[in-house]
Every structure is written in C-alpha cells, then in structure tokens.
Chains A and B, each alone.
Chain A
Amino acid sequence: MPDYMLMVLENEGEHAAQSPAAMAALIEQRAQFAGRLRRAGKLRDHGRLRPSKEGKRARRDGARLVVEGGPFAQHGKALNGYYWVQAASVDEATQLAIECPALASDQIDIRPVMTGRGDSEKEAKPGKIFGVIVLGNAVTEDAWVEVMDRIDAETHANLPDSFVGGVRLEPPRSGRCVETRGGRRAMFDGPFLESKEVVGGLFFIRVTTEDEAVRWLEATRHGVHGAIEIRELWRS
C-alpha cells in the first residue's frame, strides 16, 4: 500500500488566539485521530513541530550560507504537524486529511511518499528530536527529481548517526490539498508549483542540544537547493 504524507499547514496566529479550552480540545482530538489511524494500521508516524518562531532556516545566498531565525510562513502558514499514513489511494489519503482535526484556517497538503524510513519510537529516545524540512524551488519534474537525488545523496553523507527516519516526497504535481472554504472542508488541487518553495522532504535528527542542531544546519549543503529549516518536535 502506498504511503502519503499529510502535512498540516497552520496560521500560527489563529492557533495562538484560541481559548485554552479550544486549544485543549484540539490537542485531544488530534491524539484521538492519531490513535484511530494507528489502530486501523494506517499510521506510520506522526508528530508536531514546535512553533516556527523557534525554528532556524538556512538559505544559500551566493557563496554564503545565511541562517535566519523564525517565524516562517508560506502564504501565511507554517508546517506544524504531519501524519505519515498508508492508504489504498490518494483519494483515501485525501479523505483522511478531510477527517483530520484542524482549524478552519489550516490547510492540509497530501503528498505521495517516494521513499521513506520510519522510526515511530523516536520520541521515546532521550535527546532532542528536530524535524528537518527540505524546501525546494524546482519548477519542472526533472529538476525536482534531480533536487531530490542530490538531497538524498548529501543526506546520507552528511547525516550523523542520529538520523531517526524521514521521507522524500514525490513531485508536488501529484499532491492534493484540503482546505476549508465557505465552512466546508474539501479537496482542492494544490497550486503547489506556483509557490516559490515546496516541501521536498522531511526527516528527523536526534541531538543533545539545540546548538548541536544549529551546528548541523550550518554545516549542511542543502541550502543550495532552496532552503532548509530545522524545528524541534514536541513529544506528543
């Protein structure tokens, strides 16, 4: 059965404005949603990323690598959660995204997984887990595949032994997008290629301190493709 990544893109301001009761309810609903997926044998991994204002992003600027601090938002939204699911088809994955608890301002991107290695036990291990979001700006499918090949090659060379799983995504053309419009959650084809940068991969590193993650980011060469972002994972 193919794998899909459901990526939850959030307007962080809307989430921060929730009442404590609404905040608690959403957290609980998400835990239950993940539990349902797990019991149905559909969940490979899931997680939440800490607010983008705590994240760091590296970008190649000429010969220089520039590392900047958050908040980060693409079209006003930040990647704050993911569910890596197994589904019979992209339609089933889309249906799961529609059922996924979210605020009306959230957008959920559904993207087929090209290759991936899961470690659903990563949050039970000591240390800090950082999500590494690889953002690409490839405009054609060939360029996309090339970008992913280079990331793959570099990842294996660069990654410390603390690699704790991750995925490489199919080109954005094959993706879908679930949004709330007019009070209704529904699927819309994603205008992915129009946006400057799209997520090409998401993987996880286990380190001992945030400094170590930043040093890792500064040493990476991924920035050459677009940008790379590190965000600590909540333990949830």
Chain B
Amino acid sequence: MAELTDVVQQTVRRERGRIVGALLRLGGSLDAAEEAFQEAALSALEAWRREIPANPGAWLMTAAKNSVRDAWRHRAVADAKSSVLAQDDVESRENPDTVSDDFLRLVFTCCHPEVSRDNQIAITLKVVAGFETAEIARAFACSEDTISQRILRARQTIEEKRLSYTTPERDELGARVSAVLGVVYAMFNEGHTGTTGPLMRLDLQAEGLRLGRLLCDLVPRDAEVFGLFALMAFSAARAGTRVDADGVPILLAAQDRAAWSKDLLREGLMALSRARSLEGRGPYVLQAEIAAAHVTAPAWEQTDWARIVASYDELGAVAPSPIVALNRAIALSMRDGPSAGLAALAELEGPLGDYHLFYAARADFLERAGKNPSRDLRKALALVTNDGDRRLLERRLASQRS
C-alpha cells in the first residue's frame, strides 16, 4: 500500500499546478479550486486501490472537475456554468498551450505584485508546489503560525482584490513574469543563506530549481527566465563546496572547483546560451553572465575579472543598487588592485553603512594593500546577523591578532 500512496503523492505533486490552474480558469476562486483538487486527491487514494489509471493526471483532472460541478450544483449555479465545463471536457487531449496557460495563471495569481514577498513565497510553496504548512515552516525555521498567517493573508489579498480573475494582458506579461522570477529566486536563496538558522536548506533550493525549470517550459521566449535558471544552476552546482565541516562559509576563492556538479554547470551553460539567443539582457541574464565567468574559471586567480567588471557595469545600468556597486568594487579590486577597490567603496559607506559585507570587503582590500583590517572586521562583526558569516569574520579577526 506504501506504493500506492507514493504514486498518488507523486501524481498529486506533479499535476497540482496545472489542475488547480485549470479549475481557477473555470471557477475563478482559488479556494474553491484548491478544495476541489483536495477532494480529487482523496478520492484517488480510494479509487486507485483497485487499479491505478493509465493516465493518472487525466484521472485527477476529471475527478477535480466533477468535484467543482458538484459544488456548483450545491450552490445552484450549475445551469449558468455547466456549459463552460462541458465545453472544456470536450478537449480531452491535453494541449500544451492550454496546460501552460493554466499553470501560469496559478503562478501569476500566487506571485501577484499586490501580495507581499513573504506571503507570495509561502502561498506559492503551499498552492503551486503542494507543501504542508509544517514543512514550509521548517524550511524557513519559523513557526507554523507564522506561515499559516502568511498563507492566510495571501489568500485574503487574492480574494479581496479578485487577483485570480485577471489574466495579464500581453504587454503586462513581462512585468508579471518578472514578479514570479523574484519569488522563485527569493525561495532559492532562502535555501542557502537564511538570515537566521542553519545555512543549507537544500529542499528550498531544489524547489526553486524545479520551478525555474518549469518556467523555462512555460515561458520559453523570455530571456530572463533562462537567465534566472542559469544563475540558480551555477549556484546549486557549488552547493556542496560552500561551507566547511563546521558550517562556516568557504569563500569562492577557496572552494574546491573539482567538486562542483558538472551536470548542473551544463544545465546553467545551456540555459545561458538560450538566454543569449533571445532578446534583452536583464538583471538575471547579467548575473548569470557573472556567475558563468566565475564557474568556468580554472582557478580564482585565473578569473576573467575584466569580463566580470564589464557585466557589473551593464548590470548597474539596468538595475542600479548599492549591492551591485559593492560587488563591482570587489571585481574592480581584482582587476586593478586593492586601491581601486577602496576608491570605488568610498561613496558606498552611506547607503551600505549597516551592511556587514561592506566592511568585510573593505577589510579585504585594506589587508591586500598591506594595512590593518581589524577595525573593519570588528564593524562587520557588530552588524552580521548570519551565524556562518559571523564565524568566518571571527576567524579572519583572530588571524589578524596572531
């Protein structure tokens, strides 16, 4: 029986997005769509005991639509809407265009810009990916109550503002895709650099990659979609080499490059190649270009810093931010030397004065210029909130004193 539960779970997991999305198209309400899907999943557990259907996904879809129909009948709206459902049933073969539209509708709804970032991530993991509230809470190292609240608030926003009723217009599509990419990337990053708690949470990273890959299939003409996937693949390829046995981060310069995952590097390089063939170089494509320069360098010392500085220049033009400027300064210090880096940092102390990595970078430049970095390391330590980074800074400071 364990096997049956596995089949049901896998099918439910895989088919959830497109089925809930299709029900959303038919009924308009996220709550009703989810409820119908849950009922279908429960009935599968019972019905598949006798025989697992040849096409489990189609079985679930039919069961879920029947469940919607029952609910309508119950609320006496069946007459008005049943023709829509009947019409839809006629298309028995799954058309990839309809399926991807349905899936996208659900993703766009959960990642709607009107919903706040934390709530977007929580409801996406719950509704699109099908995780339990407890699992999500564990992944974010916060209480179940917190996650329940986020999901609830997201649902309220979606219902109140009727966000699921609107499919984006074509000229709006880019902005909506970009909102989804932001959610996926935030989810992925939460997997390896939480502001509190343990550093590595591979499940969120895997989920981010899975959603990223899915988006490549759903929106195959958007360069940024492939840029984000490449960026995440390059990062995931290095996952096992990012912290030492004590959980302290290992800087890129010291990571074991031979241990990086070749399969993931290839995924990233192929996605970046696709991104380059499409129009537009947005923030994700440019960050992927920078990551590609790093992961293809045979050694830290042989990194193509000129290419990286050029990509940061481009990135700073499309998406200027103090963090981009900080990273550019680091690349510049590698291309032109520590004093060039220090000069580039001078104007960043204002905006980044409370960011520990600003002082960590300045400490590095000072040390390479033959000066004492202790003051900056102490400033960084006073600001750091991440346990791994704190231990790394403590080590650096200790090596100064010895």
Contact = CB atoms under 8 A, between A and B. Distances in A.
Interface of A: 16, 19-21, 23-24, 27-28, 31, 48, 123-128, 160-162, 206-209, 211-212, 215, 234-236
Contacts of B298: 19, 21
A31 B277 contact: yes
A5 to B, nearest CB: 22
Contacts of A48: 270
B221 interface: yes
A125 B93 CA distance: 17
A20 B237 CA distance: 11
A155 to B, nearest CB: 17
Contacts, number: 79
A162 B96 contact: yes
A27 B297 contact: no
A235 B274 contact: yes
Contacts of A236: 270, 273-274, 277
A202 B336 CA distance: 52
B66 interface: no
A119 to B, nearest CB: 14
A215 B55 contact: yes
Interface stretch (B80-88, B258-266, B343-351): B258-266
Given A21-B297, A27-B273, A126 B94 contact: no
A16 to B, nearest CB: 6
B219 interface: yes
B218 interface: yes
B189 to A, nearest CB: 22
Nearest to B298: A21
Contacts of A215: 54-55
Interface string B273-298: 11011000000000000001001111
B219 A24 contact: no
Given A123-B220, A215-B54, A23 B100 contact: no
A93 B394 CA distance: 63
B362 interface: no
B18 interface: yes
Contacts of A125: 96-97, 220
B100 A208 contact: yes
Place the interface of chain B in its size category.
Answer: 35 or more
Nearest to A234: B270
A208 B94 contact: yes
Contacts of A27: 269-270, 273
Nearest to A53: B263
A211 B57 contact: yes
A35 to B, nearest CB: 9
B295 A20 contact: yes
Interface string B232-272: 00000000000000000000000001001011011001110
Contacts of B265: 20, 23
B106 to A, nearest CB: 14
A126 B96 contact: yes
A-B pairs, top 6 by smallest CB distance, nearest first, are A127-B96, A126-B100, A208-B99, A21-B296, A24-B296, A20-B296
Contacts of B97: 125-127
Given A20-B260, A21-B298, A127-B217, A31 B96 contact: no
Contacts of B55: 215
Contacts of B94: 208, 212
Interface string B69-113: 000000000000000000000000111110110000000000000
Contacts of A16: 262-263
B179 to A, nearest CB: 19
Contacts of B277: 31, 236
A235 B226 contact: yes
Contacts of B14: 209, 211
A23 B269 contact: yes
A128 B260 contact: no
Given A125-B97, A127-B99, 10 more contacts: A23-B266, A24-B292, A31-B276, A48-B270, A125-B220, A126-B217, A128-B217, A208-B96, A208-B100, A234-B270
